A = this chain, B = another copy of it.
Amino acid sequence: MSKKVAIFDSSLRDGAQAEGISFSVEDKLRLLILLDEHGVDYIEAGNPGSNPKDLEFFARAKAVALKHAKLAAFGSTRRRDIKVEQDSNVQSLLLADTPVIVIFGKSWDFHVTDIIRTTLEENLAMIRETVAFFKAKGKEVVYDAEHFFDGYKNNPEYAVRTLQAAVEGGADALVLCDTNGGTFPSEIGAIVAKMVGMFPVTLGIHAHNDCGMAVANSVAAVENGARHVQGTYIGFGERCGNANLSTIIANLGVKRDFECLPADQYRNIVHVARHVAAISNIALNEREPFIGNSAFAHKGGMHIDGVNKASHSFEHINPELVGGQRRFLMSEVSGRRMILDKIWEVDPNVTKDDPVTDRIMKRLKELEHEGYQFEGAESSFELVVRKQLGRYRSFFELEHFKIIGEQPTKGEFGSSAIIKVKVDGEDEITAAEGDGPVHALDSALRKALETFYPELANVHLTDYKVRVINGKDATAAKVRVLLQSTDGDAIWTTVGVSTDIIEASWLALVDSIEYKLIKLEEAKLSRRN
Cβ contact within 8 Å between B436 and A502:
yes
Instruction: Judge whether A435 and B500 touch: CB under 8 Å.
Output: yes
Is A462 in contact with chain B by the CB < 8 A criterion?
Answer: yes
Give the complex CA separation of A402 and B299 in angstroms. Answer: 46
Asked whether any CB of chain B lies closer than 8 Å to the CB of A215, the reply is yes
- Nearest residue, chain B, Cβ from A111: B313
Is A466 a contact partner of B466 (Cβ separation < 8 A)? yes
Q: Are B404 and A315 in contact (CB under 8 A)?
A: no
Across the interface, which residues of B come within 8 angstroms of A262, CB to CB? none
Task: Kindly list chain B residues whose C-beta atoms are within 8 Å of the C-beta of A379.
Answer: none
Q: Which of the residues B20, B310, B402, B484 comes within 8 Å of A406, measured between beta carbons?
A: B402
Within 8 A of B (CB), among A431-484: 434-439, 442, 460-466, 468-472, 474-477, 479, 483-484
User: Is A528 part of the binding interface, using a Cβ–Cβ cutoff of 8 Å?
Assistant: no
Chain B residues with CB under 8 A of A498: 413, 436
Complex formed: what's the CA distance from A418 to B205 in Å? 61
* Minimum distance in angstroms from A470 CB to a CB of chain B: 7
Those of A279-329 within 8 Å (CB) of chain B? 281, 285-290, 292-300, 303, 306, 309-310, 312-317, 329
User: If the complex has contacts A332-B51, A464-B477, A501-B436, are A236 and B22 also in contact, measured as CB distance less than 8 A?
Assistant: no
Partner of A287, one of B18, B217, B220, B303: B18
Given contacts A189-B186, A500-B435, A500-B437, contact A238 B300 (CB under 8 A): yes
Q: Are B373 and A240 in contact (CB under 8 A)?
A: no
Main secondary structure of the interface of A (DSSP, over half): mixed
Q: Complex formed: what's the CA distance from A461 to B471 in Å?
A: 10
CA distance A477 to B442 in the complex (A): 13
| Bound Cα distance from A437 to B413, whole angstroms | 14
Most buried by B among A215, A399, A462: A215
Among A4-12, A175-183, A519-527, the stretch in contact with B: A175-183
- The residues of A with any CB-CB pair to B shorter than 8 Å are 16-20, 22, 51, 53, 110-111, 114-115, 179-182, 184-186, 189, 209-213, 215-217, 219-220, 223, 235-236, 238-241, 244, 247, 250-251, 255, 278, 281, 285-290, 292-300, 303, 306, 309-310, 312-317, 329, 331-333, 368, 373, 375, 398-409, 413, 415, 434-439, 442, 460-466, 468-472, 474-477, 479, 483-484, 498-503, 505-506
13 more contacts with CB within 8 A, not counting A180-B315, A211-B215, A435-B475, are A19-B287, A110-B313, A114-B309, A239-B297, A281-B469, A400-B406, A405-B437, A413-B503, A436-B479, A439-B476, A463-B474, A465-B471, A474-B484
23 A-B pairs (CB sep. < 8 Å): A19-B293, A22-B332, A184-B216, A186-B223, A211-B250, A211-B251, A212-B215, A239-B295, A240-B287, A240-B294, A403-B403, A407-B503, A407-B506, A413-B502, A415-B500, A434-B475, A436-B476, A437-B500, A437-B501, A461-B475, A463-B472, A466-B479, A474-B484
